[in-house]
A = this chain, B = another copy of it.
Amino acid sequence: MKLDAIDGLIIDLDGTIYLGSQAIEGAKETMAHIRAAGKKVVFLSNRGNYSRRMCREKLAAMGIPAAAEEIILTSTVTASYLLDNEPDSKAWLFGDEGLHEELKSHGVQLAFKPEEADWLVITLHESLTYAELNSAFRAARNGARLIVTNEDKTFPGDGGECIDVGATIAAIVHTTGAEVSVVVGKPSAYMANAALRSLGLPPERCLVIGDSLHSDIALGKRAGIRTALVLSGSTTRERAEAAEERPDYIWESISDIRPMLESARGE
């Protein structure tokens, strides 16, 4: 196959470029090849507890340079959603520092008290306290609508699967009777549109590369973007081949794109 028709790559991070704090083997060299081949790139991640700055620094430390506009996180898209749809609304944030940094950098208005919030934004919070849980509860109890970066129940972390943002969402929903109004993360159209807008390309000239069938591949299928599943993250070959919506390509890792880049250039 040829990649000539592909001008933009939408690349997942966790499980595709790195695992925890380790770059996946060959990711750095492959990204250099992709750049040399002149492809446009956007990194698209369901992480809402990171800011673009934090993410960019993490990539730089792995020898993978990226411009701020080339990184789109769920925290980024949550900020855009609020500014695009309700610029005068005030948000209360329940999540790690990266969420705060990202929303502030976009100029999202924050409520001074939970009771005054129009929106409660929830993302993974690995340094949560009871006081913060209680403030989020009070925001929801007083009518703040729930916008969540993602709904995952677990994520692969140090020492095995870890409890994810689904836990704190359930805690708030169960105790207040509130419902989740907006789920920002992949495979949503919010994330697909943000990626395509950043690339400035139509879906048929792009390729999604990621390790998750239900977030990365599903996003591509819904948005009419071709898909490559990598087996370097959370999905096994068995599950990939048994999937109802099969990816266009199944690769061991992102490095498998290299022969295709070369044949494209060689012609």
Contact = CB atoms under 8 A, between A and B. Distances in A.
Contacts of A169: 174
Nearest to A137: B163
Contact of A129 (B128, B164, B174): B128
A172 interface: yes
A19 interface: no
Contacts of A161: 141
Interface in A140-155: 141, 153-154
A3 interface: no
Interface string A155-196: 000001111101111111111000000000000000000000
Contacts of A126: 130
A133 B175 contact: no
A169 B143 CA distance: 23
14 contacts: A128-B130, A128-B133, A133-B167, A141-B161, A153-B175, A164-B175, A166-B174, A166-B175, A169-B174, A170-B170, A170-B171, A170-B173, A170-B174, A171-B171
Interface residues of A, number: 28
Interface of A: 125-130, 133-134, 137-138, 141, 153-154, 160-164, 166-175
A132 to B, nearest CB: 10
B160 A175 contact: no
Contacts of A127: 129-130
SS class of chain A's interface: helix, strand, loop or mixed?
Answer: helix
A162 B171 CA distance: 13
A174 B160 contact: no
B171 A163 contact: yes
Contacts of A172: 167
Contact of A168 (B138, B141, B171, B173): B171
Nearest to A126: B130
Given A126-B130, A130-B125, A170 B163 contact: no
A169 B171 CA distance: 8
A21 B137 CA distance: 23
A138 to B, nearest CB: 7
A4 B168 CA distance: 52
